Structure 1
C-alpha cells in the first residue's frame, strides 16, 4: 500500500500552491452561494481510497475511542466504532447500535434493545459489550470525557437480561436518557478491551495501520450492519495548519479537508477546483474565564468582560463574517436555549464601572490561544484590542497545537475556546457540573448541580424547560464562558467526492461520515 502522506509532504504542498491561493483570494467574487451546496446527487460508485484531512493532535494521539477530544479523534472513532445512538441534524438522539429504548413508569429504568451487528473480528455486539464499555467510561480513576454524561446510570445495578437487551437502572429519574446513549465518546468496544493499538470495533471501517500525528489507514468492513462503505479504503490524515489542508486538497493529495477558513471558501466558491460545503452555525466560539482564581473569581470582572466585548467585530474579524454573534450561552437555536434574554452589546462605561467596583482597574491578564483551530489566534488579538479600550492590558500567549486543549483545561486564567454542536443538556453535563471532566471554566456550584439533577428528573417538558432556563439565566449573569459567536463549519472536497452531507453540524451523525460518500 502507498505510504500515508507525511506532515512534511502536506506542508510542501502548501508552500507550492500558496501563491495561487493568495491570488485567487484577491480576485474571488464576494458571494458564497455556490459554497453552500453539497455535490450533485449521482449513483454511488464503489472503490478507491478516500484521503481526509483534519487538524491533528500530534504524537500523543490515540485510537482509544473513549479518550476522544479533538474533531480528528471523533472522525477516527466513528469510522471504527459505533454508539448506541447518535445526534441527528436537529440534535435529537437517533438509534444506531440500539434499535430503540423504552422507559419504565418512573423514568429510572430504561430498556434498550440492540440490533444484530458484528465487530470486525466476527463477534456479535452484545449487551455485555455495552455494559463493559459504559463501566470503563465511568471508571472514576479515568478522565474520559463521557463519564459525566453517564453519571445518572447505576452501572452496578444495570444488567443484561439477554445478549441483545440492556436494562439500565438509574440513580434517579432521567427524562433525557437517550442523550446519554448519544454522548460524545460513548462508543461500544468488545468486552475486556484495553489495548487500542490495533482496535476492533463495529464501525464501517476496520483497522490497517496508525501513525500518531500523521495518518490512520482503514479498509471497508463488508459486514457493517448499516451497509458496507462505498470506498475501499479510508485514510485520515493530520495537518494542523489550515493552509496545509487547503493546499493539499488543491494539489490533489486529499479528497476531503475539514475546517477550512472563510477566506479559502470565498476564494474557491466558484472556481470549480474544489467543492465547498458550509455547515451553518456548527461551532461555538468564545473565551473561557477560570471562575476559581483571580481575577475571574470575582463575578464583577467576568461581567466586565461580557460588557467590553464587541461580538460583531469578532465575527467579522476572526470568522471573516462566516457566522453569527453569540450571547454568552451555548447552543443558540437548540432546545432549552433562552432566546428571550436580551442580546448583549458592548458597553464600555458599564465594563469600566464593574472593574472599578472590583478594584481591577488597569488589570494585566495573560490570554492563552493557539492556531489549533481556525480563528482562535485572530479572536485573541481582537479581544486584546477591545480590552485595551476598557483600560485592560492583555498579553496573548500562543501555545502548542498538540497540547493546547489539555493545557487550558486547568492552566491559565483566560483562554480561547470553541466547541462543536451538542444538546445543551450534554454541554452542561460535560462542562459545567462539579464532576464534569472537561470543565474548563472551573464553574463548580453545588446548587447548580442540584438544578441539573432536578431538571433531569422532571418528566413534564414545560417544567423541565423552566429549570433549564433558570440554569441558563444564572450562567448568563455569573458564568465563565464568554460566547461571542457561532461559526459556520467549512468543509472542502475534491469535485469527484460525492455524497458529503450539507446539513450536518459538527458532532452529529452525518458529520465526517465517510461510509456514505463515494469517489466518482
Structure 2
C-alpha cells in the first residue's frame, strides 16, 4: 500500500479485491499547487443532496452524509478506503494487525499539525476514538468492546475483544480531532488538520471554508469553498446551470439528459456502493410477520418504477449490498405479483382498515419514488402515509425507531459488508426492530475471521436471511451522477458521494 495524498485518490471501478493486512508506507512526492491545467485559485460553491446540519464526526450524526462530507474537508482520517479491501494511509503512515486481528497498531505520519499550529498526536487519536465510543452514535456500532491506547506520541493501538479482520473498513469513516473537541461549542468553529478551515457555519444552510495554509498535503488551490444547502431539486439544478453552484451530484435521472446537453457542464456517472433501502420496522405490530413484509415488497412494481424514474442511474437490485462491496451475494429477485401479495396479507390477517404505515424519508429527490410505491400499495388496499422530514429530525427518528418504513440510499463504508450488515442488522444494533440470533452468530463469525473466502461465504448466508425475512425492501442499485461546470479544474467524482475539493481550482475567476 502507498501513503495516500488526496491528489492520488483514484475512483474505484474494478473487481472485488482480497482483504489484506499489508502495512502502508509513505510517499514523499510533493503535492502540486495547481490543477492539471495550471488553473489556480477561484471560489467554488458546492451543493450536495444532503444538507450539512452538524460538523461533529463522532456523535449521533457521525455517518450522516452531510457530516461526513464536511469532515473530509475539515479533518483528517487515519486511512481511506479506495475499494473493497483496498486502503491508503492519510494520518497513518503504516499499520499492522497481530496474528488474529484482535489488535491493530498504527504509526502516525510525522509533522502533521492542526490549523492552529499544534501537532496531531496519538493522544488526539485516542481521545477522538473514545469520544466516538462514548457518543454511542452510528459509527460506534462498528467498535463494540474496543479499547485504544497510545504507547507514544506517534503510535496508536486499537484492541478488540474478538478478531476483527474488517477493522480497516470500519475505521475509514473515523476522523481525528483535537482533544479539546469535547468542549461545548467546539464544532461550531472547529479546528482540524484537513485541507480547509471553517470561516462560518449555519447548520442546514451554509458552510464557508478557506484553505488551510498548513495542510500536511499542500495548501489547497481554491481561494474559498462554500457548501450550500438547496433542498429543492429544481432549484439546485437551476443554480448549477446559472453558475450560482459549481458542483453537485445525486441529480434526478429526468434532469441528467438536459444537463448533458449543456456545453458549460460536465456530467459523469460512477459506480457506487449505494443501494436504495426501504427498511420495515419489525417492532411495529402490523409488520412483525416476515410474510407481511415480503407481501408488501411483492406488491410494488419496482422494475417499472426504476425504468421510469431511474433510467440513467438505477438497476434492479438482487442483494442487500452492492456488487462493489466485499461480501456481495446475489439473491432470487422478489417478483411483482399484487394478487399473490394481497392473498398473503389476507392469510396473515393484515388489518387493512386500521393500519396506516408511516413512511419517513428526508431527501426531496425521493418524492417521485415514494409516490409510486404508495400508489402500488394502495392498489391492494394498504394505506401508507409519506412523511418527509428535515435531515436532523429524520436521523433522530431513525435511531428512535419512530417510523414504520424508512427510505434511504444506504452505502457501505470501506466497501466491506461488516460496516453495513455487521453494523446494522444485529439484535444489539436495533436499527430496524429486527432480531435474529442465528443472524447474529453468522455476522459475529464473519467479522472475526481473516479468511476472506470464509467471510464472503458467511455474508452470503447473512444476506439470504435478511433478504428472505424481508427486513426491508431492497429495490435498486445506484450509480452516482455528478455534474460540474467546465470552469472547474481537477475535480474527481468518487463512488461514495463524498468528494474531496483540495486539488480543485476554478478558471476564469
Per the shorter chain, which TM-score range? 0.7 to 0.9
1:514 to 489, 494, 501: 501
- 1:135-174 paired onto structure 2 within 5 Å: 135-139=130-134, 142-153=135-146, 155=147, 158-174=148-164
Q: CA deviation at 1:369?
A: 4.0
Residues 246 and 492, structure 1, Cα contact 8 Å, conserved in 2: no
Residues 50 and 231, structure 1, Cα contact 8 Å, conserved in 2: yes
**Do residues 193 (structure 1) and 178 (structure 2) align?**
no
- 1:459-478 paired onto structure 2 within 5 Å: 459-478=450-469
Q: CA deviation at 1:393?
A: 3.2
**Do residues 313 (structure 1) and 304 (structure 2) align?**
yes
**Residues 196-244 of structure 1, C-alpha deviation per residue, up to 9 Å, x if partnerless?**
1210111111121112222111111122222221212211111111112
- 1:103/1:224 CA distance change after superposition, 3 Å: same
2:231 to 227, 240, 247: 240
Rounded Cα–Cα distance in structure 2 between residues aligned with 1:169 and 1:416: 35
Give the ranges of 4+ consecutive aligned residues of structure 1 lying more than 6 Å apart after TM superposition: none
2:314 to 310, 315, 323: 323
1:345 to 335, 347, 366: 335
Q: CA deviation at 1:362?
A: 3.6
**Do residues 274 (structure 1) and 265 (structure 2) align?**
yes
**Do residues 125 (structure 1) and 125 (structure 2) align?**
no
Which ranges of structure 2 fall in alignment gaps of 5 or more residues? 1-34
- 1:293/1:112 CA distance change after superposition, 3 Å: same
Q: Secondary structure at the match of 2:271?
A: strand
Rounded Cα–Cα distance in structure 2 between residues aligned with 1:327 and 1:398: 27
Q: Secondary structure at the match of 1:202?
A: coil
TM-score by length of 1: 0.83
Match for residue 134 of structure 1?
Answer: 129
Residues 319 and 329, structure 2, Cα contact 8 Å, conserved in 1: no
Residues 280 and 323, structure 1, Cα contact 8 Å, conserved in 2: no
Residues 420 and 505, structure 1, Cα contact 8 Å, conserved in 2: no
Q: CA deviation at 1:143?
A: 3.7
**Residues 258-294 of structure 1, C-alpha deviation per residue, up to 9 Å, x if partnerless?**
3222222111212213221222345321312001122
Moved more, 172-181 or 411-420: 411-420
Residues 231 and 363, structure 2, Cα contact 8 Å, conserved in 1: yes
Moved more, 402-411 or 307-316: 402-411
Rounded Cα–Cα distance in structure 1 between residues aligned with 2:437 and 2:116: 45
**Residues 402-444 of structure 1, C-alpha deviation per residue, up to 9 Å, x if partnerless?**
52343344112123222234332101243222333xx542223
- 1:312/1:470 CA distance change after superposition, 3 Å: same
- 1:481/1:328 CA distance change after superposition, 3 Å: farther
- 1:69/1:160 CA distance change after superposition, 3 Å: closer
Which ranges of structure 1 fall in alignment gaps of 5 or more residues? 1-40
TM-score by length of 2: 0.85
Q: Secondary structure at the match of 2:466?
A: helix
Q: Secondary structure at the match of 2:423?
A: helix
**Residues 368-403 of structure 1, C-alpha deviation per residue, up to 9 Å, x if partnerless?**
2446242x2211211122223434333434444552
**Residues 3-23 of structure 1, C-alpha deviation per residue, up to 9 Å, x if partnerless?**
xxxxxxxxxxxxxxxxxxxxx
Q: CA RMSD in A?
A: 2.3
Q: CA deviation at 1:114?
A: 0.9
- 1:22-421 paired onto structure 2 within 5 Å: 42-57=36-51, 61-66=53-58, 67-90=61-84, 92-116=86-110, 117-139=112-134, 142-153=135-146, 155=147, 158-183=148-173, 186-194=174-182, 195-327=186-318, 329-339=320-330, 341-360=331-350, 362=352, 364-370=355-361, 372-374=363-365, 376-400=366-390, 403-409=393-399, 410-421=401-412
